[in-house]
Structure 1
Amino acid sequence: MAGVGEAAARRMVDALFIERAWGSRSASRFWVLLALAAVIASAGVVGDSTATVIGAMIVAPLMTPILGTALALVLADRAHVVRSVLLVFGGAVVVVLIGMLLGWIAAPPDAFASNSQVSSRISPRLIDLLAALATGTVGAFALVRTDISDTLPGVAIAISLVPPLAVTGLLITVHRYHDAGESALLFATNVAAIVATGTLVFLGYRVRDAAREAGLPVGTFHGRTLAAVAAVVLLVAVPLTTGTVSVARDRALAADARPVADRWAEAGAWQIASVDARNGVVLVGVLGLPPQPAPTALRAALDGAGMGDADLQLRLVGGRTHWCPAGTVTCTVERSPVD
């Protein structure tokens, strides 16, 4: 693999290391674009608009300090490692807070239960890590190779950074804390993958040698740096593996519960809006006019179909939520533990 030259090393440092001063050109650009991307992403999620969320991905500048962390690790530049990590963390907090603000203003009555933008970001799996590793590699490669830099917009769309954070903030406002943690895990997965692949690409292109020749500060690179990066990726992979197994189990549970819910709703001329399963809990969304069919009848039907060990959450869109625990024949009107 051919190395990069001195000019490329300077260009990468200028592009990825955001200046310390708040009023500097790079810092002001980062924070303004990040705030706007957070608003766009949160509004897109609330409106369940894929096009709007994609727009936020293109605008979002979080890839800069994440790849900056990888470059600083390769150069063994401790000051820039700390600054880049703080920018990533601080930026993430800002996006979550903006998501919470928009959630307080515009959270729907069903607490995002039927929102496809939310549901696609609260069940991270190993495949998400593999996709993030590939996308992070492309991003670092495009940064090193100016002749393919036109792929960067595609990288921004493929890697999901701001939308999961916006989802985290929105879900916090409706007290769905477990799901908020899952969307935050998706963000952490993408960050770990970008740092890992960026570090390997920069090492492979001998950016350290080019930076040294360009007179840039280069410290001593230790093997434990790579070990630490690998450990972070493995640490993220553990809950993703668990999530992969859980998602497969929940999909099978939802498939079994759907016909049961349909038969129950037909008895009262109601309509099933959605049937899902999450962490072993059957989630049913239902539409219709009073009187509603008895939630206990659905609980009994699930028990009779061999799903007696699965809790049931029945959401009446625009109305109440009924919680029917496994092993009981009663239902209560309350927020369920999955919220």
Structure 2
Amino acid sequence: MSLPEPAPPSRRALLLYLFRRIVKPVSRERRAEVQVQLRDSSSPDFDFFLLVTLSCIIATLGLLTDSPAVIIGAMLVAPLMSPIIGLGLASLTGDPTLFRNAGIALARGAVIAIVISAFLTLGNRYLPFLPLQELPGEVLARTRPSPIDLTIALAGGMAAAFALAMPSISAALPGVAIATALMPPLCVVGIGIAMGRWDVAGGALLLFITNAVTIAFAAMLVFAAIGFTVKREDGQIVPRALVVTAVFTLILLIPLTWLSVRFFQQATQNRLINEVVAEEVERFDAELADLKVTKADDTFQLALTLRTTRPLL
């Protein structure tokens, strides 16, 4: 009597087997160490807020002086990455204590950074150590978020979570902190509020939210892949928190894409205006000293200041 042939493995089991052949889960001891480490670094204590304050001062002054090197230094000092990753891990594993502490640390740290940067900017207006005729380029660079920023945050968040779980590559964490800027956008929010530029504050706030949500989502993906998930009684494979965060990340693509299209259109208009102005200036054998463009409805008004050695008329 022949025995029945065993049923072939299901596609789901085969995919899981192949995935585990490539991505090895970390040990239970290492998972416990990571959770303890994130609880400590995400705790809303004096040390955390001191680093927030110092990094905010450094970042704000770097932004106002248009100094990339100073801003990079502030990114390395800022501790905001830890509570964001902590929120991702807590959402995945159902750790209410870590979730509460990380949320408090992130929210209070963000408010402190915005307030300090606003006061520093206001102080500079009344005691002008730095003459600000216009917004520095480093400030403007953080007011125009795009899907590229979301992609950078996604890759950076995955790298941060993986480096945190794997001690052998922990040296990559400073690079991740630089790539996924968190403190500079918050400082730009404060600068925008202090200068009454709500467009600047709004764009920078959107950039910070994009970075924070995407980093948390990326961290959840990595932690789930290397074995941090908790087995559920209902048999659900993908944690609900991961799905919710993924949906929120996709929703962020809507305003980011809209802003990118608008910025592209503005850049195209400015390029065309500059080309037309350059042709007209060349006709008069003059040099363009200043160009101001204002738009009323569908009409552009141009105010040109020219330098020339002969009368224009």
- For the structure 1 residues 310 and 196, does the alpha-carbon distance in structure 2 shift closer, same or farther, using more than 3 Å as the test? farther
- 1:230 is aligned with what amino acid? A
Residue pair 1:76, 1:221 contacting (<8 A) in 2 also = no
Offset at residue 145 of structure 1 (A): 0.8
Unpaired runs of 5+ residues, structure 1, are: 211-219, 276-283, 285-297, 317-339
Which of 187, 193, 202 is matched with 1:166 structurally? 187
- 2:29 is aligned with what amino acid? A
Tell me the alpha carbon deviations over residues 305-332 of structure 1, each in whole angstroms, 9 at most, x when there is no partner: xx9725669799xxxxxxxxxxxxxxxx
Task: Write the distance in 1 (CA, Å) between the matches of 2:302 and 2:199.
Answer: 15
TM-score (ref. length: structure 2): 0.78
Task: Write the distance in 1 (CA, Å) between the matches of 2:68 and 2:41.
Answer: 33
Which structure has the larger Rg over C-alpha atoms?
2
Q: Does 1:202 align with 2:202?
A: no
- Between the aligned residues of both structures, percent identity stands at 31
Task: Write the distance in 1 (CA, Å) between the matches of 2:86 and 2:65.
Answer: 33
Give the total of aligned pairs: 272
Q: Does 1:11 align with 2:33?
A: yes
Which of 304, 309, 313 is matched with 2:298 structurally? 309
Which of 58, 62, 65 is matched with 1:40 structurally? 58
Structure 1 partner of 2:16:
none
Task: Write the distance in 2 (CA, Å) between the matches of 1:33 and 1:315.
Answer: 47
Q: Does 1:157 align with 2:197?
A: no
Matches within 5 A, 1:221-240: 223-240=239-256
- For the structure 1 residues 313 and 240, does the alpha-carbon distance in structure 2 shift closer, same or farther, using more than 3 Å as the test? farther
- For the structure 1 residues 242 and 10, does the alpha-carbon distance in structure 2 shift closer, same or farther, using more than 3 Å as the test? same
Which of 97, 100, 103 is matched with 1:82 structurally? 100
- 2:133 is aligned with what amino acid? D
Which of 107, 110, 115 is matched with 2:133 structurally? 110
- For the structure 1 residues 39 and 315, does the alpha-carbon distance in structure 2 shift closer, same or farther, using more than 3 Å as the test? farther
- For the structure 1 residues 21 and 5, does the alpha-carbon distance in structure 2 shift closer, same or farther, using more than 3 Å as the test? closer
Q: Which moved more, 1:93-102 or 1:75-84?
A: 75-84
- For the structure 1 residues 93 and 208, does the alpha-carbon distance in structure 2 shift closer, same or farther, using more than 3 Å as the test? same
Unpaired runs of 5+ residues, structure 2, are: 1-22, 126-130, 306-313
- 2:26 is aligned with what amino acid? V
Offset at residue 28 of structure 1 (A): 2.2
Task: Write the distance in 2 (CA, Å) between the matches of 1:256 and 1:170.
Answer: 31
- For the structure 1 residues 312 and 19, does the alpha-carbon distance in structure 2 shift closer, same or farther, using more than 3 Å as the test? same
Structure 2 partner of 1:63:
81
Offset at residue 29 of structure 1 (A): 2.0
Tell me the alpha carbon deviations over residues 256-313 of structure 1, each in whole angstroms, 9 at most, x when there is no partner: 12245555798996623xx7xxxxxxxx4xxxxxxxxxxxxx76xx9xxxx9725669
Residue pair 1:18, 1:65 contacting (<8 A) in 2 also = no
**Higher relative helix content:** 2
Matches within 5 A, 1:284-303: 284=292
Task: Write the distance in 2 (CA, Å) between the matches of 1:47 and 1:308.
Answer: 35
Matches within 5 A, 1:222-301: 223-260=239-276, 271-272=289-290, 284=292
Structure 1 partner of 2:12:
none
TM-score (ref. length: structure 1): 0.73
- For the structure 1 residues 20 and 40, does the alpha-carbon distance in structure 2 shift closer, same or farther, using more than 3 Å as the test? closer
